[in-house]
Structures are given as structure tokens and as C-alpha cells.
Structure 1
Amino acid sequence: MDLDPRRLLVLHAIAQSGGLASAARTLGHTRSAVSQQLAALEREVGLPLADRSGGQLELTAAGRLLAVTGECIAQELTLAAQQLITANHQVVRGPVAIGATSWVLARIAVPALRLLARWFPQVEPAFVETGPQDGLRQLRLGELDVLIITDDRDTALPLPPAVHAQALSEDEYRVVVPATWETPADASELSGRPWISAPAHSARGRAFARFASAHGVTPSVEHLAEHLITVRALLAGQLGAAVLPAYLAAQLDQVTVTTLPVTGSQITRTLYRTGHGDTAAAARAAVDALQQAARDHAEAITVAGLGRGDIIVRPLHDPADPAPAAPRRPPAAPAPRDGQQPRAARRPDRA
């Protein structure tokens, strides 16, 4: 019997998390990819490894047995990675200053600290509450090593020198209106109404400006709210419409989430200083911990039922990275001559 150890790792993740969707988020895969790996492993062993008859997926006796093997493989891989780091004398150590908004810090700072203490005990993290503009200045001056910012993909901020970026999360925009308003059928119906916007430099401010320009929307009153806790309060008071990321819109009460189109998306970016030495290595370690903490937080929101739908897990492309190359298309077949039937596309020879 020839078993693929990678599929055993997938089975171990399913056993640990209790389901396909949660295993997918843990592994950074899609739910369908995890399901396909499980089905392929069942074909390899010739036995059912999961019982899908009930409302919740449960591993069979054979599945639990192989999941233990997958756990052993995961432990051996972790040990091998630690031994490799030790052999290469790549001990990550030193102070690292991490800047973020209060919204981000309240959700992932403590979990990230715990992960850093476990993964890199010689790293000394210090969090700094700051906004995007001040944070970028501090990053340029070397006062911060890592900065988490909320950005707008279509108008993403340029990076300072010697700084790299990694997209942490991405979400579509939604237009929300107070529940007491009639649901607008068209964006133009929201012109001449009060709006809850954001400062022009912020991601939400840029998204609203783009939406207003595209649809000719002019607010009668424009309330400016930078912090999301203020946005919540103003929306609860039925003071105006707003452009918000979908995850936040889904959590609000007393609002109507419309289907009006808003171009672009909101992204959370982790900016960190690059180079050689302890500081750059500590910054990269902090980025890894922050990413895992953010993923765990998203998982907790989904499990608690605070978000609508499942979290989409996929590799995220940061605007600072080169755009991925589009897949090459085969050349079009020449047009048939008059009276001649078009030829079928030639299939590639099989090996």
C-alpha cells in the first residue's frame, strides 16, 4: 500500500479541527481541496475514513488510526525544521517593534505574543498603537520594524525603501444603510442623503470617494469617522449610509446591507523591514506569528457564528508584488477556407 504522507497530514488536520472547513483554514487550503485529498486517501487505503451520514463529519476507526500516523509525521517535520535552524545557527532573537491600530491590537496582539513566545522565545516584541500615516513615518525612520495597516487594493499605499509587504486578509466592500431607510434600488437614490465616511487618506475614505464619483453621489451631510467603534455608534444611531468591509457589515444590527456594487476591496497588509541581521529575522518571525493569530481570530469568528458564510482561504497577492502572469492560451486555429469544415483542435500526445 503506497500512502501519500501529505494526505495523512490533511487527515490529521481534519481530526484536530473537527471538520473539512476548519481543516482547510488551518492548512491554508480550500474546503474542496481538503475534501479531494480525503477522497484520494480513501481510494488509496480502500476503506472509508470518514462517516458523512450525520450532520457532522466523523472519522471512522481506520481514519482515527491513520490520523495518529499523520500526527507523528507532523511532529517529525516540526522537529526536523527546528534541528535545521539549530544546525545553521539561525537563532532568531532581539527586539521587534510592531505598530497597528487599536482595532487590530485588541484582536490579535495577545495571541500573536503567545505564539512568538512559543516559536521564538528569544524575540522581544513590543506593540505600538498607531495609525497608518504615523505608522508609515515611524517605519521609514526605523522606529517600527513591523506595521499592520488597512489599505484599499485599488489605491494601495507605496512602500518605504527596504520594506516588504504581505497581504494578511482581503474583503469586498458593501454599502449599508440604516434599517429605517427604504432599501435603495440604485446608488443615485443615496445622493442628497447623510453619509458616514472616513478621512480621505484612509482605505474606507478612498473607497467611498471612488463609489461617490462613479455614481454621482453627493452627501447632504458627511460624518467623518476614522475608528470602527465610532462607525458602529453612528450607524446604530441611524445617522447615515456607509461603505464598509463585508465582514464588518455582516456583524452590524439595525442596518440593511445592500447589493449596490462597490469596486475594489479592502486589504490588511503587514509591512516589515527587510535586510540581514537579528532585527530583520525578528521582524519576519513577528509577521509569521501575526498571520497565524489573524487566521485563528477569523476561525473563532466563524465558529462563534459572528460572520456570514465561511472564510475563503486562498493565497493573497499584495499590490506591491509583481502581478501573476496570466495563463498562456494556445494560438487560435486558422479560419477554414470556403467550403472547408473547421478542423478539431489537435490533442497533445500522451506520454
Structure 2
Amino acid sequence: MNLDPRRLLVLHAIARSGGVASAARALGHTRSAVSQQLASLEREVGLPLVDRSGGRLELTAAGRLLATTGERIGQELTLAAQQLSAANDQVAQGPVAVGATSWVLARIAAPALRLLDRWHPRLEPRFLEAGLTDGLRQLRLGELDVLVIIDDRDTAVALPPGVGAQVLSEDEYRVVVPAAWDIPATAAELSGRPWIGAPLNSARGRAFARFADVHKVVPSVEHLADHMIAVQAMLAGQIGAAILPAFLAAQFDHSTVTTLPVTGSQITRILYRTGHGGAATGARATVDALRQAAREYAEAVTAAGRTKGDIVIRPLRDPTDPAPATAARAARAR
């Protein structure tokens, strides 16, 4: 049995607060997201964990057992955070500048700010809208401490000196066509048709260039749209086909997600200043808040039924990290 510890934390919050709605308020989640996590946990264990037959929610014996385990996990996480803070001998405080795309800002900036206010009240985060090119320049110049970028795993951009990276999310690409189009059986059928492309240096632009080269696809015209709201509107207007990450594509109306093969994957990377001192400590604290805010957003979207499948949380390797086999060989050589 493979239990997700985050769901045990949610169950503990339900037990402590006395209900799903109150647990959602305490956790900063939506009620539907908490209900989704509870349902997923019941599927994992194969047992009912709550009883609603008496008119109010009560935990079953199995639910009480797992809620106690969730409480212990929460205590251990709190203790670990305290120990890490003491080991670093640094308090996250002072200004920290965070650059991100408009899509990221619209979805996780506000919840990340709330988390930072609760976790690190002496930190002074400031969000700025920044794309890939200008964001990397600002990071190199020290104008940004943290930068969230959309990248392509196969052609990921190199890190500036003194900068670390974590992958926030990863998603396979999909070919998406307007709903009024016939569903193509092969990529060749989309040659000579209009496409909604992206700037060449963007993740989507690099993915489309790779797809077009592999399948010899030549658009009749290639419209360019960088922002997702523009891509969504152009698909709805039957303007052309596009390559999108699967999680996002599933949320678009008036379009069809095909099963045509597209190599590679899109990743969201958090780049942050490394080293010692207050600036690096504040950057690491901001990375933690961004990761938590992104998980909560993904869970809420899934719980609302706006995408398919359940959220899978697993360690994601940044392209700058050595592959496991390479790391193992290096360890044996030392």
C-alpha cells in the first residue's frame, strides 16, 4: 500500500477541525480539493475513513488511526523546518524579487504570498512579470532572486553562475486542433494547414520546431502567440493547430486534444540564487512557497474536474542535474 503523506495531513486537518469545509479553510484549500484528497485516500486504503450517516462527519476507526499518523507527520515536518532554520543560522528576511510569466503570476502569486506571510513574516517578497529572455538577464544582473520559467526539457536553457534550479512541474506535449476540424490520424495531415506557433526561443516554439522537423510538417501560415489566453482564443476561433502541454490542453474548450506523438516534455523550472546569507535564504524560502502554491493550484483544478486524472507528486530532475547512472558512476569513481 502506497500512502500519500500529504493526504494523511489533510485527514488530520479534517479530524482536528471537525469537517471538510473547516479543514479547507484551515489549509487554505477549496472544499472540493479537500474532498478529492479524502476520496483518493479512501481509494488507496480500500476502506471508508469517515461516516456521515449520523448527520455530521465522524472518522471511522481506520480514519482515526490514519489521522493520528497524519498528526505525527505534521509534527515531524514542523520539527524538521525548525532544525533546518537553526542549522542555517539565518532568518528569511528582507526583500526578495521574484520574476514569473503572467500565467504563473495569475495562478500562484497570491497563494505564495499568503504562505510566505505565514511562514516568514519578515520576508519582503515582490513579484515582477518577466519572460524567459528578460528574466534570465535580470537574474544574471542580480535584479531578481528567483525566476520561474517555462522550458523544454530536451533543450533546457543553461543556468547562470551562482544559480540553482528545481523543476516545479513536467508535462507531455499534445497536438491540439480546433473542435471543428477533422481529427487527424497522422501528423502529415496537418502539413499545409495553419498553425498557432510561439517564439522560437520559447519552450513551445522549440517543441514545434522539433515536431515539424521530425514529421516534415510545413504550415500554410504560422501565427505566433506566446500567452496562453491568446492561444486559447485562437483555437476557439478555429485559427489553427497548436502544440500544448497536456495538463493545460485538457482545460481548453472548443478544441480537440489528439493522440499524435510529440517528443519531449514541457517543464516549469524555478531558478534561484544560491550561496549563503540572507538573500539566498530568502530565495530558498520563496522556492518552497512557490512549490506549495503550485501543488495546491493543480489539486484544485483536478478536484474541480477541469482536467483529467489525479495529481501525481514525484521528484522531478532538473536537466542540469546528472542522470542517475552518471551520478552513480561518478560516486564509484571517487
Give the TM-score taking structure 1 as reference length. 0.78
The counterpart of 2:37, out of the listed 16, 22, 26, is 22
What's the counterpart of residue 292 of structure 2? Answer: 292
- Alignment gaps of 5+ in structure 2: 15-19, 21-33, 329-334
Letter in 2 for 1:205: G
**Number of positions where the alignment pairs a residue of Structure 1 with one of Structure 2:** 304
Shift of 1:255: 1.2
Take 1:296 and 1:7, find their aligned partners in 2: how far apart are those partners? 15
What's the counterpart of residue 201 of structure 1? Answer: 201
Contact 1:99 1:135 in 2 (8 A): yes
* SS state at 1:300 partner: helix
Alpha carbons of 1:11 and 1:197: their partners in 2 closer, same or farther (altered >3 Å)? closer
* Worse-superposed segment, 86-95 or 230-239: 86-95
Question: 5 Å matches for 1:185-224?
Answer: 185-224=185-224
Q: Deviations over 1:300-319 (max 9, x none)?
A: 10111111111222110110
Take 1:211 and 1:8, find their aligned partners in 2: how far apart are those partners? 39
Q: Considering fraction of residues, name the structure with more helix.
A: 2
Q: Deviations over 1:246-299 (max 9, x none)?
A: 111111112111110000000000000111110000000000000000000001
Alpha carbons of 1:50 and 1:194: their partners in 2 closer, same or farther (altered >3 Å)? same
Contact 1:151 1:268 in 2 (8 A): yes
Alpha carbons of 1:326 and 1:177: their partners in 2 closer, same or farther (altered >3 Å)? same
Contact 2:96 2:282 in 1 (8 A): yes
What's the counterpart of residue 120 of structure 1? Answer: 120
Question: 5 Å matches for 1:1-351?
Answer: 11-16=8-13, 22=37, 35=44, 50=49, 59-61=59-61, 63-64=63-64, 67-68=67-68, 70-71=70-71, 74-75=74-75, 77-79=77-79, 81-82=81-82, 85-86=85-86, 89-325=89-325
Letter in 2 for 1:239: I
Letter in 1 for 2:37: S
Shift of 1:79: 4.8
Alpha carbons of 1:316 and 1:72: their partners in 2 closer, same or farther (altered >3 Å)? closer
What's the counterpart of residue 340 of structure 1? Answer: none
Identity of aligned residues (%): 67
Take 2:185 and 2:161, find their aligned partners in 1: how far apart are those partners? 46
Alpha carbons of 1:271 and 1:66: their partners in 2 closer, same or farther (altered >3 Å)? closer
Letter in 2 for 1:174: R
Letter in 2 for 1:85: S
Alpha carbons of 1:172 and 1:23: their partners in 2 closer, same or farther (altered >3 Å)? farther
Contact 1:164 1:273 in 2 (8 A): yes
Shift of 1:13: 3.9
CA radius of gyration, larger in: 1
- Alignment gaps of 5+ in structure 1: 1-5, 26-30, 40-47, 329-351
Take 2:301 and 2:5, find their aligned partners in 1: how far apart are those partners? 27
* SS state at 2:188 partner: helix
What's the counterpart of residue 335 of structure 1? Answer: none
* SS state at 1:266 partner: strand
Contact 2:36 2:303 in 1 (8 A): no
Contact 2:187 2:260 in 1 (8 A): yes
Q: Deviations over 1:175-217 (max 9, x none)?
A: 0111111111110010000000000000000000000000000
Shift of 1:50: 3.8
Take 1:150 and 1:7, find their aligned partners in 2: how far apart are those partners? 27
Take 2:315 and 2:73, find their aligned partners in 1: how far apart are those partners? 25
Take 1:215 and 1:258, find their aligned partners in 2: how far apart are those partners? 15
Take 1:8 and 1:186, find their aligned partners in 2: how far apart are those partners? 42
Letter in 1 for 2:183: T
Give the TM-score taking structure 2 as reference length. 0.82
Letter in 1 for 2:289: A
Contact 1:96 1:125 in 2 (8 A): yes
Contact 2:97 2:146 in 1 (8 A): yes
Contact 2:11 2:70 in 1 (8 A): no
Take 2:140 and 2:223, find their aligned partners in 1: how far apart are those partners? 31
